Amino acid sequence: MSLLKAKSPRIREKRLDTLNAWLGRADEAIAEFSGEDTVQRIRTFSQSTQDDLLYALRLLAGIRNSVVVIHAPRGCAAAALYHRVSSGTGRWIVSNLDQRDTIMGADRKLRKAVVGAFRQYSPEVIFIIASPVAAINNDDIQAVVEELHEELELPIVPVYVTGFASRNAVTGYDIALHAILKHLAGPRGEHQRTAGVNLLSVVENGRDRLEAERLLLRLGVELNTLPDQASAASFRLATQARLSLSLDQDSENYLGLILRDEYGVPYVEQPRPIGIGATGRWLLEAGRALGIEDAARELHEQESGLLRRELGDFSLQGVRVYIALSVATAFALSDLVAEFGGQVAGITVGHLDQLHKARLKELVLQHPSLQLHVADGQPFEELNIVRRLAPDLYIGDVAHISQVGRLGIPVVSLENTPVLGYNGVAGLARSVSLALKNRSFAAALAKTPTPYTEAWYRRSPNWHIKKEVR
């Protein structure tokens, strides 16, 4: 049966045994995914973090000519306000459920909001994002979709996030991508192939996406980038592509698999192009798949030569780095740190699952006793770990980066710093050099206390991580 028949994909915990709470050595992590059943962990103390709704919102904010209707009480639109104001993307309307709606249901209100969005913006597509309240209420979103799809004559795509079904926010990407393909990609099956290549880019930094596109365009590849900055037509086109190239398997894996399994588009999955070596391997792999290996090799030699000259004597010799990033980026960055002679002091990743077994094995070979922490936005654990390790530098893309800064450790944020490709290495080297050269802001920040008790810092950092009892 087609995967797309279902209303939503299976949550990550069920599909890939995904863990979001764990602490131990990297080799022990491999064992977690080797047995029959991966035991889920829960936290007995937790802190605010991302959920599937937030991830779906962020992904959909990047779809052109679309409007998002958030079917929820007003606060569930707060992050959408952030995307609109800070990056100018994402037009949205919130259905603004009130107390009465939580008792009586709110199908009528949703219908009004969708019609309002249509009249205000005349978009190509309207997305309806569900919410905890819509899920608990069991509002019949499907009925509204079917009715208005005919009346307004445009695709209306329901995105069934709940905010509580999965502990892994990355499930939100799966749910959004599932919905998009289900409603926008057109009939399944083998299609006439075009010469085009899908570049799978899910919520990448804009300059990172441009860097990947720049390199592939230099090889003469005809690109269809999605879902970032894609329009509804991009998804139909994607089903006819020659193949799909990956940028971040964690976020886009579901998209690559569906295009492969439902539409026969080969999926070339590989580590992120972060660091000189990894970018070269990424480029070569793409070249091999497209039969332009020589051109790819030549481009790598040219670009890496230029970059090495630009980097001069940049080195991380003797520098201990703590890394807190989404998992594919963290693994890639740990290679980069090693590439420049630095030492990885420890890693926090947002989640860990079956997709990472091979990478974990490589990691263990390179850093045999490396400590791995799995947590999405649990700074109390991270600060406990980082304070013990006292690294020279912290590189992260986490929301609590300024809290880490209060430990007095130099910090480099990758949230808005591009990291991909040759330009990524150059930019990262600049940021890291500056952070290590002048550490006075970290020292000034260290005068602001962190929010935690001294008793907590004396406890083991995994104190609140427990095996889930079923």
* Interaction residues for other proteins, span 186-225 (CB under 8 A): none
| Residue 76 binding other proteins, by CB under 8 A | yes
Q: Under rule CB under 8 A, which residues in 19-58 are in contact with other proteins?
A: 43-51, 53-54
CB neighbours of residue 91 within 10 Å:
15
| Residue 413 binding other proteins, by CB under 8 A | no
Nearer to other proteins, 71 or 367 (CB): 71
Residue 216 Cβ, how far from other proteins at the closest point, in Å?
A: 32
Asked whether 157 and 127 are in contact (CB, 8 A), the reply is yes
| Residue 456 binding other proteins, by CB under 8 A | yes
Cis amide linkage into residue 271, ω under 30° from 0 = no
DSSP for residue 55: H
Among 31, 136, 434, 444, binds other proteins (CB under 8 A): 136
Nearer to other proteins, 314 or 452 (CB): 452
Asked whether 375 and 24 are in contact (CB, 8 A), the reply is no
Q: Where are the alpha helices (DSSP H) in 122-222?
A: 132-137, 141-152, 171-184, 206-218
Residue 380 Cβ, how far from other proteins at the closest point, in Å?
A: 6
Site string for other proteins, 104-123 (x = CB under 8 A): -----x--xx--xx--x---
CA separation for the pair 464, 93 (Å, rounded):
39
CB neighbours of residue 357 within 10 Å:
14
Q: Under rule CB under 8 A, which residues in 241-270 are in contact with other proteins?
A: none
Helices 327-339, 249-263: inter-axial angle, 10-degree rounding: 120
Q: Under rule CB under 8 A, which residues in 359-398 are in contact with other proteins?
A: 377, 379-380, 398
Which residue carries 């980097």 as its tokens?
Answer: 311
Residue 253 Cβ, how far from other proteins at the closest point, in Å?
A: 22
Of the candidates 89, 113, 88, 109, the residue with the CA atom closest to the CA atom of residue 98: 109
Contact stretch for other proteins (CB under 8 A) within 200-208, 211-219, 329-337, 444-452? 444-452
Nearer to other proteins, 100 or 361 (CB): 100
Contact stretch for other proteins (CB under 8 A) within 97-105, 206-214, 232-240, 246-254? 97-105
| Residue 455 binding other proteins, by CB under 8 A | yes
Among 132, 196, 264, 277, binds other proteins (CB under 8 A): 132
CA separation for the pair 221, 223 (Å, rounded):
6
Among 5, 36, 85, 291, binds other proteins (CB under 8 A): 85
Among 97, 175, 321, 429, binds other proteins (CB under 8 A): 97
| Residue 151 binding other proteins, by CB under 8 A | no
CA separation for the pair 94, 305 (Å, rounded):
51
Among 63, 133, 216, 425, binds other proteins (CB under 8 A): 133
CA separation for the pair 341, 357 (Å, rounded):
25
| Residue 448 binding other proteins, by CB under 8 A | yes
| Residue 89 binding other proteins, by CB under 8 A | no
Report the chain's C-alpha Rg in angstroms. Answer: 23
Residue 119 Cβ, how far from other proteins at the closest point, in Å?
A: 10
Contact stretch for other proteins (CB under 8 A) within 77-85, 240-248, 359-367, 389-397? 77-85
| Residue 162 binding other proteins, by CB under 8 A | yes
- Dihedrals φ, ψ of 261, to 5°? -80, -30
CA separation for the pair 21, 3 (Å, rounded):
28
Among 19, 59, 61, 77, binds other proteins (CB under 8 A): 77
Q: Which amino acid is at 158?
A: P
Among 3, 24, 28, 96, binds other proteins (CB under 8 A): 96
Angle at 274 between CA 166 and CA 239, to 5 degrees: 60
Asked whether 227 and 202 are in contact (CB, 8 A), the reply is yes
CA separation for the pair 258, 264 (Å, rounded):
9
